[in-house]
Amino acid sequence: MSKAQEELGYIEVLIECPFCGGYVPDDFECLKCGSEILKETEYEQMLFICSKCRDEVTDDAEECPNCRAILK
């Protein structure tokens, strides 16, 4: 078990932060730089940050509309 898992409890999936390359757990806030990669718009739509170009992407998108990176 890693140190991050010991400190925060069990983390099922860690993804790479598009801003600093750190680890982002289930709460979508980077453990290294504190950036959030998920936000809610005023219309209650969830937006993610593309890990390749850092553009905002809807949660149901299969590819980034800006750089065409495959998201799922």
| Separation between Cα atoms, residue 63 and residue 12, nearest integer Å | 24
- Could you say which DSSP state residue 70 is in? B
Cβ neighbour number for residue 55 with a 10 Å cutoff = 15
Residue ranges in the chain modelled with pLDDT below 70: 1-12, 71-72
Burial 8-41 (b: 16+ CB within 10 A, else e): eeebeeeeebbbeeeebbeebebbeeebebeeee
Please report the pLDDT score of residue 31 as a whole number. Answer: 87
pLDDT of residue 38: 79
> Two tokens at 19?
């801003």
The overall pTM is greater than 0.95? no
The pLDDT assigned to 48 comes to: 85
